[in-house]
Amino acid sequence: MTEKVAIITGSAGGLGKGIAERLTNDGFDIVLHDINQDLLNETEAEFKDKGFKVTSFVGDVSKREDQFALVKHAVDTFGRLDVFVNNAGVEAVTPLMDIDQKELSKLFSINAFGMLFGTQAAAAQFIKQGGGGKIISASSIAGHESYEMLGTYSATKHVVRSFTQTASKELAKYKINVNAYAPGVAKTKMWDRIDAEMVKQDPSLKPGDAFAKYTAEISLGRYEVPTDVANLVSFLASPDSDYITGQTILVDGGMVYR
């Protein structure tokens, strides 16, 4: 039987790498993808050393043509596509009054437009194949509740929820499920950068203070790790979630209640 095929954007590290590892263990053939070529090469080699069936493709999710080329690479390599995970994203830590065009353009291009372009590229392939498919995107607790100093980032994560809802309605007739995952506070390079930037913006903070403040709120009493997010994405990528679409599901250990 042909293995199912999944693309995970931004999967050279962090949550995306964790998602790729889990979907590999679920039996998917995997297309690793990232803008960071060096890290992507390292991760591809690591996966191949473990005997995983993977390929990799370097690209920039903010470029629509890159997203369509990514899907073409998957189909050229593995013959089909079944799951597309819009995971890649970037952050900015800025007081609202200092947010400028440059920040807005960067974050909306990657986090919002990149998710839409990935959705378009995946949906085009699913429609061509027939038989449906799954599109799963990275929102955040910041897509349910917006945070101080993370105004642009929070707005883009709300946009991910919005496009998820619209895409689920328009693509349902093709049996395409469109959902999103909303992680809380996970110990990745993204949070290392957020914490460092928070210290720069507020000299009263020491390294680690911001991370500690955010994670102190978590009901389950520990910060998130990639496996926690990968477990939810594995479910959303499986037939068990065939009757779920248009949803952004919080996986935050108990921080935001919606």
Q: Which of 15, 185, 229, 232 binds ligand HBS (CB under 6 A)?
A: 185
Establish if 62 lies at the interface with ligand HBS (CB under 6 A).
no
From the CB of residue 42, how many other CB atoms can be counted at a distance below 10 Å? Answer: 13
Where does this chain touch ligand HBS (CB under 6 A) — which range of 2-10, 26-34, 139-147, 197-205? 139-147
Q: In this complex, which beta carbon is closest to ligand NAD, that of residue 58 or of residue 127?
A: 58
Q: Does 142 bind ligand HBS (CB under 6 A)?
A: yes
Residue 257 known to be catalytic? no
Question: Which positions touch ligand NAD (CB under 6 A)?
Answer: 9-10, 12-16, 34-36, 60-62, 87-90, 110, 138, 140, 183, 185-186, 188-191
The item of ligand NAD, ligand HBS, none sharing an interface with residue 90, based on CB under 5 to 8 Å by kind, is: ligand NAD
Q: Give me the helix-helix angle, 114-129 and 64-78, nearest 10°.
A: 40
**CA of 221: how far to CAs of 185, 215, 216, in Å?**
12, 8, 7
> Which tokens hold the place of 94?
């800025």
183 annotated among ligand-binding-site residues: yes
The C-alpha atoms of residue 107 and residue 237 are separated, in whole angstroms, by 26
Where helices occur in 36-184 by DSSP H, the ranges are 37-49, 64-78, 101-107, 114-129, 151-171
Q: Which two tokens stand for residue 81?
A: 């596509």
Q: Give the residue numbers marked as catalytic.
A: 153
User: Which positions lie near ligand HBS, rule CB under 6 A?
Assistant: 91, 140-142, 147, 150, 184-185, 190
